[in-house]
Amino acid sequence: MSTTKDIGHPLFVPEANREIANERAATLVDTISDYLAVKDTIPTGFTEREKILKSRKRILDVLGGTDEDWNDWHWHIRMGIDDIDVLAKIIDLTDEEVEDFDKTANLYRWKISPYYASLMDPDDHRCPIRMQAVPAGLEYFDREEETDPYASVFNSPAPLITRLYADRLIINATNICSVFCRHCLRKKDIAQKDMVYHRDDFQAALDYIAGCPEVRDVLITGGDALYLSNDTLGWLLEELEKIPHVEMMRLGSRMIATLPMRVDDGLIEVLSNRRKPVYLNTQLNHPLEVTPETEEAVLKLMKAGVMVSNQSVLLKDINHNVHVMKKLVHELMKIRVRPYYIFNCKKLQGIRHFRASVQDGLNIMENLRGYTSGLAVPTFIITAPEGKGKTPILPTYLLNPNRNGKLLFRTWGGEVCEYDDELPDEE
C-alpha cells in the first residue's frame, strides 16, 4: 500500500521541505504570540456565564420578576431600569458617581434593560458594559462638541427620512431603545418623550421612497427598529416590498446585544414571510456582549433567512485594544455574525471621553488583516462631518502606483514586494 513516504504518492513531500514548512509555521505562530498569551483572559458572555446568572437572580429579586418574566422581552421593556435607587441595588455606586449621575441624568436620558444590566460586573466601576450604559459625569461636562454630526436638518427630504446617499436611505422609525447607550450618536434625539409612530406617520416616508426610483435599499432604524411591534414592523416591510425598485430592507437594532429575547416567535414569523431580502445590522462592542442568548437570537434570525452583520463603535477603554477587538470579531464569527464595520466614535456632545484616535483604529486594522481570517476583518469607518457619509480608513499597503507595469506594495507582515501589473486603460 502506498504511503506519504513513497516518492510517487500524491501527498509525498521531501523531509527537508517539511522542515522548512514547519519552521515557517512556527514563525507565523510567533506573529500572534502576544494575542495567544492574553486571549483567554479577555472575558466573554460565555466565560462569565456563572457570574452573569448570579446577577440575573439578583436583578429578578430586586424587580420582583420570575424566570418566565426574564424570557419575555415585553417585561424587560416595562421594567427598564431608570431609577438610581433601583440601580444602586444592582451595582455598587460610589458617592461621587451618584453626584455625577444626578447631573448627567437630568441632561441626557438613561435606561438599562434588566438583561443588559445582568452583564455588568456589580463591583467593577470600569466594567465595559457598565461604561456603555450608566451615565457618567464626563457627559455633563462635555459641552464643546457638535450636537448633530449628521446635519440631519439638511438631510431629511421627507418626514422620518434621512438621506445621505444616492441609492439608499433611512427611515427613523422610533426614538426608543431598550438601552440608551452613553455613546449614542443620536443623543439629542432621545428626548424624554417617547415617539411611537403609527402607520399614518410612516405613509409620507413611503410615498417619498415610491417617488425615488433610484432608491433600492432602505434601512429601518431609530432608536431601535425592533422596538416596533411585530405587527407594525411586518406592515412596514410589506409596504416597502410593494415598491418595485426597493430591492432589499435592512433593520438597525442593538437588541441582539441589549435584549436578545426580542427575537421571539412572532418576529421570526414576520421576517420569514418576506419576498425580498432582509438584513439586520446590530452593534456588539465587547466580547462580554456575546452570550448564549445572543447566539440563540442570531440562529433564529438565520433560520428566518435574515443575515446578521455587526457594526462596532471604537470606544476608548472599552474596545480600543487590539486584543479585545480581535477577541470580539472571533466571538462574532463563532455565533455566525459577520464583522462589518468599526466606526470611529463621532465628535458629539457628551461622548468625548469615549473617543479614541483614528490611529488607534488603524493599529487595530493592522493587527487584524493577515493575522486572522479575512471574513473576521471589518472595515474601519469615519463618518464625514455635515452628513457627508461614511469613509473607509485603511492602512497603506500600496507604496507606489502602477509605473510601467510595476507595483510596489507591502504585505500584512511588513514585507515589501514588487508586483507585475497590467497597464491601466487610457482615459
Best CA proximity match to 268, nearest among 304, 297, 295, 298:
304
pLDDT exceeds 90 at position 186: no
- Which range in 22-31, 183-192, 301-310 is most confidently predicted, on average pLDDT? 301-310
pLDDT digits (tens, 9 = 90+) for 81-92: 999 999 999 999
Confidence of residue 205 (pLDDT cuts 50, 70, 90): very high
Query: What residue ranges do the domains of the chain occupy?
Result: 1-31, 49-137, 152-392, 396-427
Residues forming a β-bridge with 174:
196
pLDDT exceeds 50 at position 138: yes
pLDDT top residue among 10 and 330: 330
Residue-level pLDDT at 13: 81
pLDDT top residue among 389 and 148: 389
pLDDT digits (tens, 9 = 90+) for 50-70: 999 999 999 999 999 999 999
Residue-level pLDDT at 1: 44
Q: Provide the whole-model pTM.
A: 0.93
The answer to whether 50 and 44 are in contact (CB under 8 A) is no
Burial class (CB in 10 A: 0-12, 13-18, 19+), 342: buried
pLDDT exceeds 50 at position 2: no
Burial class (CB in 10 A: 0-12, 13-18, 19+), 397: exposed
pLDDT exceeds 90 at position 241: yes
pLDDT exceeds 50 at position 328: yes
Residue-level pLDDT at 234: 97
pLDDT top residue among 186 and 168: 168
CATH 3.20.20.70, applies to 152-392: yes
Strands 390-392 and 248-252: unpaired
Q: What angle do CA 412, 416, 419 make, to 5 degrees?
A: 100
